[in-house]
Amino acid sequence: MDISFPSAVVILLLVMDPAGNIPLFTSLLRQVEPGRRAAIIMRECAIAFGVLLAFLFFGNLILELLGLSGSSLNIAGGVILFLIALRMIFRRPEGVFGDTIEGEPFIVPLAIPAIAGPAAIATVILLASSAPQRMLEWIAAVTVATLATLALLVFGERISKLAWERGLIALERLMGLILTAIAVEMLLRGIETFVRGL
């Protein structure tokens, strides 16, 4: 699957879904002191970045140990992206992760799975396995996507006030539609690769 650098950044942003995560972050950080919120968001983004880099570097090794092929990864990634896209389009009142937690959130559910969720992890593994010689590009793509996510989440409260909740929901659904098309493309590529290998 030939993916350009801009496409990789866009796909990562779609699966990390910073706009869709703004209501979740705002809700979970509401009980935290305003002065601490930006630091918590930066910490969670840094943890998510580290997790994604770990899977970018060692994802292929994990695939080899488990005996998984590139076509199976394409198909699995497509299915996961499709399910995430459906959740973005058909949003539930309780959100993707259900009940919220008490106190200051740490790692779960903000860093994982809100930012570095199954779809994002599958995406970075797919990037690394499809073109391992372009590893510097993929590191840059993960970095750009994480920085963009950080910027959107730090200004999340202001954005939510300007865009209102309905505007954010509409944007999330639009991103979900785009992600659906990407998921179907990944599924088709995976099936095509599998059929050719028969």
Closest CA to 10 of 175, 193, 194: 175
**Whats the size of the chain, residue-wise?**
198
Average pLDDT, rounded, for the chain = 83
Handedness of CA 155, 45, 62, 128 (dihedral sign): positive
Domain positions in the chain are: 5-197
The residue among 98 and 10 whose pLDDT is bigger is 10
Task: Show Cβ contacts of residue 113 under 8 Å, excluding neighbours closer than 6 positions.
Answer: 97
Q: Where are the alpha helices (DSSP H) in the chain?
A: 5-16, 18-28, 34-66, 70-89, 118-130, 135-154, 156-197
Average pLDDT over residues 6-34: 86
Tell me how crowded residue 162 is: count the other CB atoms within 10 A of its CB: 10
Q: Residue 186's CB: how many other CB atoms inside 10 A?
A: 25
**What is the chain's Cα-based Rg?**
17
Which tens digits make up the pLDDT trace of 147-185? 999 999 999 888 877 766 677 677 777 777 877 887 788
Vertex 94: Cα angle to 90 and 100 (nearest 5): 140
Q: How many whole angstroms separate alpha carbon 80 and alpha carbon 13?
A: 15
| Residue 97, C-beta contacts closer than 8 angstroms, at least 6 positions apart | 24, 109, 113, 114
Q: pLDDT, tens digit, for every residue of 38-83?
A: 999 999 999 999 999 999 999 888 878 888 776 787 787 778 778 7
- pTM, two decimals, is 0.76
Q: In whole angstroms, what is the distance from residue 81 CA to residue 184 CA?
A: 9
Residue 177 burial (CB count, 10 A) = 11
